[in-house]
Amino acid sequence: MTTSNTRLLADKVVLVSGGTQGLGAAVATAAAHHGAQVVVTGRRPDVGAARVAELEALGAKAAFVRCDAADVDQVIAAAATTVERFGRIDCLVNSAGLTTRGTMLDTTPELFDQHVAVNTRAPFFLMQAAIKDMVGRGAPGTIVNIITMSAHGGQPYLAPYVASKSAMVGLTRNAAFAHRWDRIRINGVNIGWTQTEGEDATQREFHGAGDDWLDRAGAALPMGKLGQVDEIADLVILLLSERSGVVTGSVIDWDQVVPGAYE
């Protein structure tokens, strides 16, 4: 889709949390290809500046806003800065996330709170700010929340992550229902195992993976590879655009594993 001449987000202002790396960066790039003005958030100004330069090289107006998703004041300020610099928020993508490992038995209150702060509270208040802007202008808008297939239950070592991300499924549907008459469409994507820089670091740090882990993991999957960020980004752009029609309140499983199906 990103190589098409169709510009699905022409002149839209798109805010992407966690847009400096991984899936968020791929979504930001796809949005730029589709004619959007793009704001990305992240914690590292040097990475943010490089990301903006890449987006501007694609012909997009772009900006970086330093934001630690664990700090709700910074989250709210990121939305305010976007409106101040670009005049509005047409589309929001909540992509920032924390995947630190923890089981039911060893998760501390501090670790649990970290997951809730980044994976639940931050997107909640970004959504709040974006929706306030849309409603205040009497304008339609779209939001896509990046969730996870682990929201169906997940692995034992992801207990706080599953708890915080599962909340996003309910929040997505609740907000979509609450604001359907405002013509604000809100959907979620449950992504499966995805190839990113962060996943590579996680596999090495928490699972002792070697240099061949990606090839081995792909060989064990039906499609022979992990999910690819550019392919997921295409779906996100579709959901952000008018081409997805009236769909709202949907949480789409984007994976090669079928929940509830067994050999």
Query: Residue 216: inside a domain, yes or no?
Result: no
Q: Is pLDDT at 230 greater than 80 in this prediction?
A: yes
Give pLDDT tens digits for 124-135.
Answer: 999 999 999 999
Does 175 reside within a domain? yes
The string of pLDDT tens digits covering residues 140-172 is 999 999 999 999 999 999 999 999 999 999 999
Contact 76, 130 (CB under 8 A): no
CB atoms near residue 162 (< 10 Å) = 22
Q: Which two tokens stand for residue 124?
A: 């909640």
The domain that contains 92 carries what CATH number? Answer: 3.40.50.720
Does 200 have pLDDT greater than 70?
no
pLDDT score of 37 more than 90: yes
Whether 127 is in a domain gets the answer yes
Q: Which two tokens stand for residue 1?
A: 């889709």
Residue in 64, 86, 161, 254 annotated catalytic: 161
Asked whether residue 2 carries a pLDDT value surpassing 50, the answer given is: no
- The strand pairing partners of 228, in sequence order, are 195
* pLDDT over 80 at 201, yes or no: no
The answer to the question of residue 211 being in a domain is no
**Contact (Cβ atoms closer than 8 angstroms) between residue 237 and residue 1:** yes
Q: Is residue 25 part of a domain?
A: yes
- Separation between Cα atoms, residue 55 and residue 258, nearest integer Å: 35
DSSP tag of 249: S
- How many Å apart are CA 100 and CA 120, to the nearest integer? 14
For residue 261, being part of any structural domain is answered with: no
Examine residue 92 and state whether it is found in any structural domain, yes or no. yes
In a domain, 104, yes or no: yes
How confident is the model at residue 3, as a pLDDT?
A: 44
The pTM score is 0.92
- Check if 161 is active-site: yes
Report the pLDDT value the prediction gives residue 203, as an integer from 0 to 100.
72
pLDDT of residue 247: 98
Question: Does pLDDT of 7 surpass 50?
Answer: yes
* Domain hosting residue 93, numbered range: 13-196+231-253
pLDDT tens profile 62-79 = 999 999 999 999 999 999
Residues contacting residue 72 through CB under 8 Å, at least 6 positions apart: 117, 121, 122, 125
So what's the pLDDT on residue 218? 76
What are the structure tokens assigned to 82, written together? 């976007």
pLDDT band at 1 (very low <50, low <70, confident <90, very high): very low
What is the per-residue pLDDT for 32?
98
Structure tokens at 48: 């943010």
Q: How many domains is the chain partitioned into structurally?
A: 1
Q: Going by C-beta distance under 8 Å and a sequence separation of 6 or more, which residues neighbour residue 218?
A: 224, 225, 226
